[in-house]
Structures are given as C-alpha cells and as structure tokens.
Amino acid sequence: MISRYVSVVLLIALASCGRVRDEPALAGGGDAPDTVAVAAPGIVPTVVFVGTSLTAGLGLDPAQAYPALLQAKIDSAGLRYHVVNAGVSGETSAGALRRIDWVLRDRPAVLVVETGANDGLRALSPDSLEANLQAIIDHAEKLSPAPRIVLVGMEALPNFGQAYGKRFRQIYPKVADRNHLPLVHFLLAGVAGVDSLNQPDGMHPTAAGQRILADNVWKTLEPVLKKRER
C-alpha cells in the first residue's frame, strides 16, 4: 500500500494539472486528445492506450510518455503494432466511458485501460468505478473482432479511510478476474513518491520515471502482443 504522501501526490496530479476534462472527445463534438496518432486502417494493427495525464505524458514531449516508449520496445521485439496514445488529463472513469466509442473508432487490436485515479481523488463510489470499467470492457468486446484488453490498476487516497481504500484497490483485480484480463497491478510502482523520478511539481513522472512506467506495463503487455501474433 502506498504511503499517504505518495497517494496524495499521485491523485492530485491527475486531477489538478493540465486540461481537466470529464467530457468525451466524440467524433463530431469536442476535441480529440492532443497526443493521438492513428495508423492508416488495415496496414498495421494498433495498440490504443486510454488513460489520464500519466498516459498522456503531461509536462513532457509526447515521445517521452510511456506509450511512445512502448512503441520502441514493440519495434525492438520485432512485433508489428502501432501505438496510439489516447490519454486525457483529469479524466474520471465516467469520462473514459463517455468517449470510449470514439477511442474504438479505428478498431484497435489491443486496448490498454488506465483510468480511475481521479475517481479515487474525488472519493467517488468504487461501485461506480467498477461499473464504468465493466462498461468500457463491454463496449470494446462488442467489436468484431474484439480487441485484447489490458487493465491498469491504481490506488485511492488513504485519507478517505482504510475501508474505502481497500474497496477501491480490490476493483481492478476483481474486474480483471471476472473478464479474464491481464492486469498491471500499479502503474506507478517504483516511481510514486520518488523525487528524482518526478517533475518539479512533485506529481508527474519525469522522462526517467516514464521509462519505469513503460517497463511496468511491458511486463504484462508483451505476452499479450506475442500471443495475439501467433
């Protein structure tokens, strides 16, 4: 369990920095995430990352965010995928759900879902988080073919009480188990609370911190990509 300081730093960062937006970026309404890069359909299968400012790489060049670093790992492994970063700063799981159909418009081969940290900051209901995560998965699984889904876990603020923190933390493995999904247990493992790995605001990972995030995700993502190519 991460410390009180680490939790506060992590979750305040996600809601208070950059563009805080819960509204969906839907085709025909609103703005698309600034960092999205889309491959030409039918040429290279895509890996789409839905997430918060951590995924968007707030404060850094998009090439330093962990999705872009994972593209380099994918290429080095000889795998044929194109990474799409669909991170939006400050987004809750409800916001991610509202824009999921836009995110899925190009029918990704793999969908990586990192959301919920801002739910924890606002002490939103863990039941609502669970329902939103399940609905995102359900939307993705309606596609034919459906993408492989990787779920990324997060922590809640400890000052909302141990009971809330425990319920929140249990949502991710519960949803992953129910849907038979691979799970990254904690995206910021090894980075949260480490001054040298965070930007001057003390909240968002530096380029070096993002490299650790990429390593954390790669451990779970690599087997998924290799299995899909068989």
Active site residues: 53, 201, 204
User: Is residue 39 classed exposed, middle or buried when 0-12, 13-18 and 19+ CB atoms within 10 A define those classes?
Assistant: middle
Find how far residue 49's CA is from the centre of its chain.
6
CA-based torsion, 91, 96, 101, 103: positive or negative = positive
Give the residue ranges of DSSP H helices in the chain: 4-16, 53-56, 66-76, 93-98, 100-103, 117-121, 126-141, 162-179, 207-229
Phi, psi of 59 (to 5 degrees): 90, -5
Bridge partners (DSSP) of residue 149 are 111
Q: d(Cα 35, Cα 24) in Å, to the nearest integer?
A: 15
Evaluate whether 46 touches 81 at the Cβ level (below 8 Å): yes
User: Is residue 199 classed exposed, middle or buried when 0-12, 13-18 and 19+ CB atoms within 10 A define those classes?
Assistant: middle
Burial code (b: 16+ CB inside 10 Å, e: under 16) for 133-151 equals bbbbbeebeeeeeebbbbb
